Amino acid sequence: MRELQRETIGDRRVRLLASQDGRYTVTIEVRGPQGAWADSSFVADRDLVLHTASVCYRLRLTEQEARAIAWGEA
């Protein structure tokens, strides 16, 4: 998979990935205590067309930004 976009907010990151067959995935990852990233993505955010994946990426990014504000991480 090829990474098209990535944004890190506090201990979380949101990525938009493209597969070789033209499908897209949005991931949410959380940084653990040892610094490794753990996937906490939704199954519904996989195998998407580009338009849907772009909307989903912006939605997940907004959710993580709001979470950071609520928890005082921003």
Listing from the earlier edge strand, what are the strands of the sheet with 24-31? 2-9, 12-18, 24-31, 37-39
Q: Does position 73 have pLDDT exceeding 70, yes or no? A: no
Give tens-digit pLDDT for 9-63. Answer: 989 999 999 999 999 999 999 999 899 999 999 999 999 999 999 999 999 999 9
Buried b (16+ CB within 10 A) or exposed e, 14-53: bbbbbeeeeebbbbbbeeeeeeeeeeeeeeebbebeeeeb
Give pTM, 2 decimals: 0.88
8 Å CB contact between 32 and 5 = no
